[in-house]
């Protein structure tokens, strides 16, 4: 799962170069949750899991996650990245 996270973070950094880097910690936590949730309880296959995560973290993902994180903090609701 760590390799999937690192791959997805590298893709995200490349696709979103102008993101608010002060929110990177929150984005990284959201991405870790996305990777964990995408893994499910099945046996983990790197390629399949990586594809699932990359599909969910499409361009604009950072903006949506930052928005969800803001709402989560104010309403205590679970953030959903996809």
Contacts of 36 (CB under 8 A, 6+ apart): 1
User: Cα–chain-centroid distance for residue 64?
Assistant: 10
pTM reported for the whole predicted model: 0.69
CA distance 3 to 17: 21
User: Is 21 domain-assigned?
Assistant: no
User: Is 33 domain-assigned?
Assistant: yes
User: Is 18 domain-assigned?
Assistant: no
User: Is 40 domain-assigned?
Assistant: yes
Q: pLDDT tens digits, residue range 24-43?
A: 898 898 888 888 888 877 78
User: Is 68 domain-assigned?
Assistant: yes
CA distance 71 to 65: 10
Considering its fold, how many domains does the chain have in total? Answer: 1
User: Is 39 domain-assigned?
Assistant: yes
For residue 34, which of 48, 53, 49 has the smallest C-alpha distance?
A: 53
Q: Whole domain around residue 56: which residue ranges?
A: 2-13+28-75
Across 3-10, average pLDDT? 90
């Amino acid at each position: 799962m760590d390799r999937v996270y690192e791959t997805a973070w590298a893709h995200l950094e490349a696709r979103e170069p102008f993101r608010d880097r002060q929110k990177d910690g929150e984005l990284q936590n959201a991405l870790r949750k996305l990777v964990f949730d995408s893994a499910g309880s099945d046996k983990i296959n790197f390629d399949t899991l990586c594809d699932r995560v990359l599909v969910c973290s499409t361009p604009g993902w950072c903006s949506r996650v930052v928005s969800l994180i803001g709402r989560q903090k104010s309403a205590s609701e679970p953030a959903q990245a996809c």
